[in-house]
Amino acid sequence: MTQTQQPELLYLSKRDIVELGGDHSNLYVAAIERALTLHAEKNFVQPLKPYLRSQGADGHIADRIIAMPAHIGNPGISGLKWVGSKHDNPKKRGMERASALVILNDPETNYPVAVMEGSLISGMRTAAVTVVASKHLAKPGFTHVTSIGCGVIAKMQLFSMIEQFPQIKTIHLYDVFPEAAVKLSKAIRQKAPEVEVECCDTVEAAVKQGEVVITCTVADKPYIPYAWIQKGAFISNVSIMDVHKEVYLQADKVVVDDWEQSNREKKVINQLVLEGRFSREQLHAELGEIVVGRKPGRERDDEIILLNPMGMAIEDIACAEQIYREAVKKQIGTKLSLY
């Protein structure tokens, strides 16, 4: 931005982002691999994200607004994801559980250059983390994928996995609301008719069949014991609170995206640390360390590997930056004057 330019920013709606390819996994997988590489290289700034809980301790664990600021690269770009969630939005209001905005700032001036709808970016980048992790942590050639929870996040996770791993043969679904599993099964069959879909009667049956198990719930306490997990499984514990403490202690490898982000907010890892039963030294790796080859991923077919991805602002900003660059190049979006 020069001294003679009038400050303006680019607004991108969800429709704009879809037009830019933001409903397909390729864009996000590339951006996430870059973000995790920058994380491993320490080429980022990422303050611990604050949680705004207006109902305090009386509120549901999924009822919060989170501010996620970050800077990536050099000179790179700065930004913030502002993401709100209410667990009862779908059932009570007919709305998606989460909403979000992403703001990007030019690091030369710190003026905002873009504001964009963030829920699609947030969900798709979370799915891309599972994809990237599966490349390194799942058994080669896995064919059975399980999703616990069958809402919007599960759909993004499974569609991304289908797009990136054509060997997937069967998807096992479970949701406390069976109609959600049926709805998602129909969407999967429409997208990938060659993939078999099974709606399971119990969460145990679904978990036991998964070579890759993805949790996509709003659970506030663990329900998946170690005994349900098959040898060689990779668990992408996206919704964080689903897996019993014993899994962290008995799994062959525990991986996080960022240790400082994961060891807080009384999540399961944080509880174990406070109890003196888990530590940074017991952690196998942060995911970026595996992506850059500093630490090994899967080394044996029978390893049980648990990923605990709290979600990092640098992931959102890396994805949003890529979308912004494409929008400028293709002249998509609405320019807004700040004055």
Nearest alpha carbon to residue 31 among 108, 103, 131: 131
Long-range pairs for 17-21: beta carbons < 8 A, 24 or more residues apart: 17/116, 17/117, 17/120, 17/121, 17/323, 18/120, 19/332, 20/323, 20/326, 20/327, 20/330, 20/332, 21/326
Q: Does 81 qualify as catalytic in the annotation?
A: yes
Q: Which of 106, 10, 9 is nearest to 332 (CA)?
A: 10
- The residues, ordered by sequence, that sit 6+ positions from 31 with a Cβ below 8 Å of its Cβ are 125, 128, 315, 318, 319, 321, 322
Q: List phi, psi (to 5°) of 227.
A: -60, -25
Rounded Cα distance between 103 and 118, Å, is 9
The Cβ-side half-sphere exposure at 106, using a 13 Å CA radius, reads 13
Which amino acid, one-letter code, is at 267? Answer: K
Residues 6+ apart with CB under 8 A from 329: none
Residue type, 36: L
Scanning the structure block, which residue is given the tokens 């397909």?
24
Strand partners, 100: 83
Q: Which of 49, 81, 139, 253 is catalytic?
A: 81
Report the C-alpha gap between 220 and 297 in whole angstroms.
29
Residue 101 DSSP one-character state = E
CA atoms within 13 A on the CB side of 184: 29
Strands (DSSP E) contained in 110-221 are 112-117, 144-148, 170-174, 196-199, 212-215
Lookup result for tokens 């891309």: 128
Neighbours of 178 (CB within 10 A): 14
| Diameter over CA atoms, the chain | 66
Active site residues: 81
